[in-house]
Amino acid sequence: MDATPIKDLLQQYFDANYESDGQKIAQIFHPAANVYGHVQGGAFSHFDKASFVELITSLAPLSSPREDNIIAIDFIGENAAAARVSLRVGDIVYTDVLNFVKIDGKWGIIAKIYSGTPL
């Protein structure tokens, strides 16, 4: 399967996180998307799409060195995929599992599970 559309969305995802751009997040996340996870030693968190967009928008753009990496992309049929990525946000390195669905020919992130480890 052609991973180009997923890689393009992942690049937009990395850019949005680094720039704290909630509008970019809103464009690449499916309307029904949810985000789940925690930072090491912290409480479990859950966000719906609107809350996650609000959170990203509230953050200052990052000035720390940019570190992001696509670890793996797996297709689950023609209309679903999962990607495991890592990215640094300030002093925390996150590992994210992003689940994608393709609806009406358009890919979007339907779920994000993350774990953050402080540096």
Q: Are 17 and 87 in contact (CB under 8 A)?
A: yes
pLDDT of residue 89: 87
Residue type, 79: N
pLDDT digits (tens, 9 = 90+) for 57-88: 999 998 888 899 999 999 999 999 999 999 99
Q: Are 47 and 112 in contact (CB under 8 A)?
A: no
Domain 4-118 has CATH 3.40.50.300: no
Domain chopping of the chain, boundaries: 4-118
User: How far apart are the two ends of the chain, measured CA to CA in Å?
Assistant: 36
The model's pTM is 0.94
Per-residue tokens: 50: 């609107």
Q: Are 103 and 112 in contact (CB under 8 A)?
A: no
CA 33, CA 40: separation in Å to the nearest integer? Answer: 23
Q: Determine the average pLDDT of the residues in 87-112.
A: 95
pLDDT digits (tens, 9 = 90+) for 10-62: 999 999 999 999 999 999 999 999 999 998 888 999 999 999 999 999 999 98
CA 19, CA 5: separation in Å to the nearest integer? Answer: 21
Q: Are 55 and 25 in contact (CB under 8 A)?
A: no
> Which of 60, 59, 81, 61 minimizes the C-alpha distance to 72?
81
